[in-house]
Amino acid sequence: MILANIDDYRTLARKRLPHFLFEYIDGGAFSEATLHNNQSDLQQIALRQRVLRDVSSISTKTTLFGQTFSLPLGLSPVGIAGLNARRGEVQAAQAAEEAGIPFCLSTVSACSIDEVSAGVNNPFWFQLYMIRDRGFLREMLARAKAAGTNTLLFTVDMPVPATRYRDMRSGLSGGSLLQRKLTRVGQVLTKPHWAWDVGLLGRPHSLGNITPILGDKAGIDEFWSWLGANFDPTVTWADIDRIRAEWDGHFIIKGILDADDAKQAAAIGCDGLIVSNHGGRQLDGALSSIKALPRIADAVGDDLSLILDSGVRSGLDIVRAMALGAKMVMIGRPWVYALAARQKRGVKEVIDIFAKEMRVAMALSGCTRVEDISASMLENYRA
């Protein structure tokens, strides 16, 4: 199979993964309207084609939070992504490091902070939820600092878990415990490549950062039970303010869609925001991230660095998002599809696809530097 774009990696990931894992990556909340709108709304933004400009030298380098990256693209935190290939988060972090872009590890990764840190040369970003167990939360902060992490992403759009029908149907969360286990075992037996690479050679199978709490024998069912019981619906801005005071590095809030919430984040001293609807996995019917971005950029764009997440599937999407006020975009599903399809090599290939597509979009829009990307590159722009 010739892999040309992100859809091709998605197709190959679907062939290689047990059904419950693919559906977990690919699905969204309820009817998945927001999931689909994230992509379709981006694709409806038209770029202005400009010609007869010297575009022989194009640079995609960018600087964010005091660090220079080869591309305004980062790998988003994705829960249990490490189950999609052998020690998967380590492979993805290595691919990002070699490509010169940021990688963010999830609180609920399959590989622990310590394991990922041992596999790379430079610090990575870390994502944290507000967990009921504040002792665990502070332990995670300490472990991230010990690993050299200087950039914390704090996810705020998950006070309660959403309903994801695909997960219920696939055997990940629906039915009785016995039904789920039998369903998943049956699916694994139909995917010998995954069973060998992850099931056998990917041992030990643990739950990364929460293994100290659940033990190294805990599985996916124990993981979901713990996660559901530990999301904190009581969290407020005062809690975020206290965490911000404890963290002396860069502090980014992930999951903002409203301009008033963005202003509140600026007021407590955040360094950046990720404009995101959790990839359409939480509030179905919410605005797509790209539609929420302009009003947030108008509200706080001069005070905070904005990053767009959710729905980005091409280098053209990077240009579209930056034209509307983002300093960087982050991708989740694309890198996990690539990891499942071709392991570390696949992640590097997908990053390269984004880079090539971005350079083409810039060239045919008459732009040669990331810092020159602006709304004037879009059709229907009004100064």
Residue-wise pLDDT tens digits, 117-129: 999 999 999 999 8
Q: Max alpha carbon distance in the chain (Å)? A: 65
- The CA distance from 146 to 150, in Å, is 10
CATH code at 6-152+161-242+329-365: 3.20.20.70
194 pLDDT more than 90: yes
Q: Contact 369/62 with Cβ under 8 angstroms?
A: no
> With 60 as the cut, is the pLDDT of residue 382 above it?
no
More confident residue, 142 or 212: 142
The pLDDT value given to residue 97: 98
Query: Of residues 49 and 207, which shows the higher confidence score?
Result: 49
> Over the stretch 306-361, which tens digit does the pLDDT of each residue have?
999 999 999 999 999 999 999 999 999 999 999 999 999 999 999 999 999 999 99
The closest of 112, 110, 111 to 139, measured between CA atoms, is: 112
Name the pTM for this structure.
0.95
**pLDDT tens figures, 254-266:** 999 999 999 999 9
Using the structure block, give the residue that is written with the tokens 């950046």. 272
Given this model, what pLDDT does residue 383 score?
39
Q: Which residues are catalytic?
A: 278
β pairing state of 67-69 and 305-309: unpaired
